[in-house]
Amino acid sequence: MKVLGWLRGTSAILCLLSLVLLLTSGWALMAGYVPSDAEAFSSVLFARQQVPGGSGVRSVHYFLSMSLVVTGFLYLLVTYLLGKQTVDKSRWWLALTLYFLVLGMCFTGYLLPMDQNAYWGTVVRLGIMETVPVIGSDLAQMLRGGQVFNASTLPRFYALHVAVLPIFCGLLLAPLLRKVSARLGQSGPWVAWAIAGVGALALLYLLAASNMAPLELRADPTDTEYVPRPEWYFLWLFQFGKYVESVPWVESLVVPMAGLTFLFALPLMTRQGFGARCAVALAWVVVWVTLTGLAIHQDRDLEPKLPYELAMEMRANDVYKDLCLECHGAEGRGDGARSLRFDLEARDFTQPEVWQEVSETEMIRSTRDGKGKDMPGFGRQLNHEETVAVLSFMKTNFAPADTSRSND
């Protein structure tokens, strides 16, 4: 019991800490983000690759949101096990509401990077939402700003993510924070909590420093190969949906509503003993683990989702083979079969001068528009991202080891 009590306090503290840090890291992300169909992905990519600390801040935001989903759940679970929800009803309702606001922010934040995962995940979730009888399609239309995904969808998700939901969250949090700060002077395991907080923070920064928040390729609305999957904490519902596929509203409406009603009604179930509460919690954990495990198991043959850099590297490899190799050669020496046969002028990329004297901008321009009489332009076959990727592929593979560009 004592352990549970300590766990409850600690998870509450960690939740508050996460919420505050999510807010501040969010401010940093907002400063570099452009919420439009055309610009969103590029701005995220730019922050990830070009801005010092940009990738770190995004990772911190990402892992904080994960940890908030987990610690929030832990807080609710322990509170329920301790039976505290019947003692302080309003606190329980407040915590629940906050938790669902957090899930709402996860849902809306999911779309913002506008990579494959973001786009397809959101399209499908809104599609599932439409199966809710009566209000489903209106609700999806309201979120989307139309009946199909369109240019006003992203701004709406952005508005919800950075203004509407966090402000509601803040309004609900304010009295709670005041209570906590009033208690700061009183007795309590504050030292232990402080250690837990510092430890959690250290863990978070370690995690963010060693793992980048995922980012896949730019959203491609014409890609028939991409298979979106929900976040791991919603896999159970996805798996459950497979068993009721002929009545989709059971998944999209009945189960979520039953869960919500149960959670909000808990403070009124005063007769539930400790044993019964343990049984309910255990049953839920078993159901969750089973369904999640099944979902993961059944997806074992799915191709892994590649991070942007790796996927682009593979594409650059293909592009080089398809378009560049016949003139520039397999080793980048400018000795491809075609240039030898027709005596074409093809650059030798193993020469350090190339990388020292020609700026990246210039190289991008030559690749796009062509150069001299022998280098054709590939602007029609390659988009900007592919051009940059193939250039960095050539630099990695052909440039002599210690070449640094002088006029980058």
Partner 1 sequence: MELAKVLGALLVAVGSIPTVAFWWRSASPVSQTDSWIDLGPARDIPEEGWLLQKFSVEHRNRWRQDVTEETVYLRRVGRDLTVLSSICPHARCLVRSEGEGFECRCHSSSFDADGRVLDGPAPRSLDELEWKVEKGRLKVLFQQFRPGVRDQEVLKA
Binding residues for partner 1, per CB under 8 A?
37, 120, 123-124, 126-128, 130-131, 137-138, 141-142, 144-148, 150-152, 156, 220-228, 241-242, 245-246, 248
Alpha helices for 112-253 (secondary structure H): 116-129, 136-144, 153-159, 165-183, 190-210, 235-243, 248-249
In whole angstroms, the minimum distance from the beta carbon of 305 to partner 1 comes to 13
Q: Cβ closer to partner 1: 21 or 164? A: 164
At 178, is the secondary structure helix, strand, or coil? Answer: helix
Q: Cβ closer to partner 1: 150 or 270? A: 150
Torsion of CA 285, 291, 293, 297, to 10 degrees: 180
In whole angstroms, the minimum distance from the beta carbon of 217 to partner 1 comes to 14
Q: Cβ closer to partner 1: 245 or 408? A: 245
CB-based contacts of 89, cutoff 8 Å, min separation 6: 267
Token pair 């701004």 is found at: 155
In whole angstroms, the minimum distance from the beta carbon of 218 to partner 1 comes to 11
- Residue 239 contacts residue 291 (beta carbons within 8 Å): yes
Cα–Cα distances (Å) from 142 to 38, 123, 386, in that order, read: 21, 14, 35
In whole angstroms, the minimum distance from the beta carbon of 207 to partner 1 comes to 30
CB-based contacts of 375, cutoff 8 Å, min separation 6: 327, 345, 346, 347, 366
Which amino acid is located at 288 in the chain? W
Q: Cβ closer to partner 1: 104 or 145? A: 145
In whole angstroms, the minimum distance from the beta carbon of 246 to partner 1 comes to 7
- Residue 228 contacts residue 120 (beta carbons within 8 Å): yes
In whole angstroms, the minimum distance from the beta carbon of 121 to partner 1 comes to 10
Q: Cβ closer to partner 1: 244 or 364? A: 244
In whole angstroms, the minimum distance from the beta carbon of 110 to partner 1 comes to 16
- 115: phi then psi, degrees, rounded to nearest 5: -95, -175
- 244: phi then psi, degrees, rounded to nearest 5: -125, 35
Q: Cβ closer to partner 1: 241 or 334? A: 241
Q: Cβ closer to partner 1: 119 or 393? A: 119
In whole angstroms, the minimum distance from the beta carbon of 167 to partner 1 comes to 13
Tokens of 342: 């027709």
CB-based contacts of 115, cutoff 8 Å, min separation 6: 41, 44, 215, 216, 217, 218, 219, 308
Q: Cβ closer to partner 1: 180 or 227? A: 227
